[in-house]
């Protein structure tokens, strides 16, 4: 997808949520996450994003940019941008979970989400094109 199409889609999504504020949001917790596959990609993010906050854990490296109420988080595996140095050994205690049974669940969706609305239309022509999607 070209950048202009992506930006147009984001603007359209903003317009949509402005008209439908009660619908669930894709990043309702205020964080939009973007995976970056390489060190070169993270370097480009750092160059272009301006002021960012650097965060890291044992497994991930992250650059975050605050955009109003949304935090944009670019992350990669820490090994992509850092080098591991073995300083010695440490003991990790063992953990054992006994064998046990859990429910084997298969999800079956018999009716489309809009099935009740279709019944309420009393024969009005349905203009949705997702009749075959059972969820």
Q: pLDDT digit string (tens) for 11-28? A: 999 999 999 999 988 876
Instruction: Note the pLDDT tens digit of each residue in 52-61.
Output: 998 888 789 8
Alpha-carbon distance of 118 to 124, in angstroms, equals 8
Average pLDDT value for the chain: 79
Of 65, 34, 33, 70, nearest to 48 (Cα)? 65
Residue 115 pLDDT: 57
Whether 100 shows a pLDDT value over 90: the answer reads: no
Structure tokens at 24: 């669930």
Query: Is the sign of the CA dihedral 96, 100, 102, 104 positive or negative?
Result: positive
Q: Are the beta carbons of 17 and 25 closer than 8 angstroms?
A: yes
Q: Give the predicted TM-score (pTM) of the model.
A: 0.63
Alpha-carbon distance of 119 to 100, in angstroms, equals 44
Residue 125 pLDDT: 46
Q: Give mean pLDDT, residues 82-107.
A: 77
Split at pLDDT 50, 70, 90, the class of 29 is: confident
Q: Percent of the chain at pLDDT above 70? A: 77
Instruction: Note the pLDDT tens digit of each residue in 46-85.
Output: 889 988 998 888 789 899 999 988 899 999 998 888 887 8
């Amino acid at each position: 997808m070209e950048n202009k199409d992506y930006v147009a889609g984001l603007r359209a999504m903003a317009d949509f949520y402005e008209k439908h504020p009660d619908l669930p949001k894709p990043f309702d917790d205020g964080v939009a996450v973007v995976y970056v596959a390489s060190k070169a990609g993270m370097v480009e993010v750092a160059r272009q994003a301006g002021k960012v906050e650097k965060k890291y854990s044992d497994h991930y490296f992250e650059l975050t940019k605050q955009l109003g109420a949304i935090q944009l988080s670019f992350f990669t595996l820490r090994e992509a941008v850092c080098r591991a140095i073995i300083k010695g050994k440490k003991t990790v205690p063992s953990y054992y979970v006994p064998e046990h049974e859990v429910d084997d669940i298969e999800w079956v969706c018999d009716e489309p989400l809009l099935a009740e609305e279709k019944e309420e239309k009393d024969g009005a022509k349905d203009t949705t094109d997702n009749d075959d999607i059972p969820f």
